Amino acid sequence: MSTPPTPAAAPDRLEIAGLKVEVEGKQILCGIDLALPPGEVHALMGPNGSGKSTLANTIMGHPKYQVTGGSIDWRGESLLGLTPDQRARQGIFLSLQYPTAIPGVSLVNFLRAALRGLGREMPAREFLGTVKQELRTLKMDQAFLSRYINDNFSGGEKKRMEILQLAVLQPKLAILDETDSGLDVDALRTVAEGVNRVRSEDMGVLIITHYQRILDYVTPDRVHVMAAGRVIESGGAELVARIEREGYDSMLRAAGLETEPAEEEAVAAGAPGA
């Protein structure tokens, strides 16, 4: 069960079809279709509250998000019904928009538990070497080794910590939920370099972002735009520049969506039209 499936037999492909998701009885995603072929980098953009994090958390299996329709397939098999840690063991990684602090648990202990969980324990020396090297690459102080995970970290430090974990855990599919937000210029470049590095190793990446900045470093194979729980537009890298220039207004109008945020929510909630 824990032996890694051979890529040839089951390509690391993510296939989402007709996905509908509810949170506490409220419908947030209303039929998402999205495919991420092995090794490709896709960007997911869209206005605040459009459901990007919801999609990310649902792929990972957060218990709060209830799938009411559609499917999420990975390597040709459904992920639905697996716990988040089982999905992690299938090679999926989610860098959270708001990483949680766990007081009293050091980075070292946390990562060792993670590797153990993934069935990839390393000898202590090799492990420490790897983590130290990643800290240097991310220009983070070695003191982070023994600091409690995300506890009293600055916003940017939390994001770098997510990238460090991504590098150590080496998943097959990485979902980065606004990992670029709150990063300074240097850090942004480092993160982007990190993504490019893993990209060359055939890792699929879904970058959720609001900004062109990171995509200047990492050119996405495809860009998807979400609004009101749907993917309203998909295209090549050129879409990013267009959004930067024009904002979302024209796309929203083209999709028949109002641009007033309050009404947008009303649509998402399925309330009768204003």
Ligand X SMILES: Nc1ncnc2c1ncn2[C@@H]1O[C@H](COP(=O)(O)OP(=O)(O)OP(=O)(O)O)[C@@H](O)[C@H]1O
Taken in order 55, 260, 181, 148, the sign of the CA dihedral is: negative
Per partner kind, with CB cut-offs from 5 to 8 A, the member of other proteins, Mg ion, ligand X, none near residue 26 is ligand X
53 binds Mg ion (CB under 5 A): yes
Q: Specify the residue, 47 or 61, whose C-beta has the smaller distance to other proteins.
A: 61
260 binds ligand X (CB under 6 A): no
24 binds ligand X (CB under 6 A): yes
Q: Which of 35, 18, 98 lies closest to 62 in space, CA to CA?
A: 98
User: In the range 68-97, which residues lie near ligand X by CB under 6 A?
Assistant: 97
Q: Which of 231, 236, 230, 240 lies closest to 270 in space, CA to CA?
A: 230
95 binds Mg ion (CB under 5 A): no
Q: Specify the residue, 13 or 52, whose C-beta has the smaller distance to Mg ion.
A: 52
Element (H, E) at 95: strand 92-95
Q: Specify the residue, 83 or 250, whose C-beta has the smaller distance to other proteins.
A: 83
Q: Which two tokens stand for residue 78?
A: 């459904």
Tell me which of 51, 74, 93, 157 binds other proteins, using CB under 8 A: 93
Q: Which span sits near ligand X by CB under 6 A: 34-42, 47-55, 107-115, 184-192?
A: 47-55
User: In the range 166-195, which residues lie near other proteins by CB under 8 A?
Assistant: 169
Tell me which of 4, 18, 76, 117 binds other proteins, using CB under 8 A: 117
Minimum separation from the CB atom of position 234 to other proteins (A): 26
d(CA 95, CA 136): 20
d(CA 254, CA 234): 13
Per partner kind, with CB cut-offs from 5 to 8 A, the member of ligand X, Mg ion, other proteins, none near residue 54 is ligand X
Label residue 202 left, alpha or beta by phi (over 0 means left) and psi (-120 to 50 means alpha): left
Q: What is the DSSP letter of 99?
A: P
d(CA 26, CA 208): 22
Residue sitting closest to Mg ion (CB):
53
103 binds other proteins (CB under 8 A): yes
Tell me which of 83, 133, 219, 250 binds other proteins, using CB under 8 A: 83
179 binds ligand X (CB under 6 A): no
Instruction: Please enumerate in sequence order all residues whose Cβ is within 8 A of that of 29, keeping only pairs 6 or more positions apart, or say none.
Output: 19, 20, 21, 51, 54, 55, 58, 229, 230
253 binds ligand X (CB under 6 A): no
Cα-atom radius of gyration of the chain, to the nearest Å? 19
Q: Which two tokens stand for residue 91?
A: 């090679």
Q: Which two tokens stand for residue 71?
A: 């499917």
Q: Which span sits near ligand X by CB under 6 A: 51-59, 103-111, 131-139, 168-176?
A: 51-59
Site residues (vs Mg ion, CB under 5 A): 52-53, 97
Site residues (vs ligand X, CB under 6 A): 23-24, 26, 28, 46, 48-54, 97
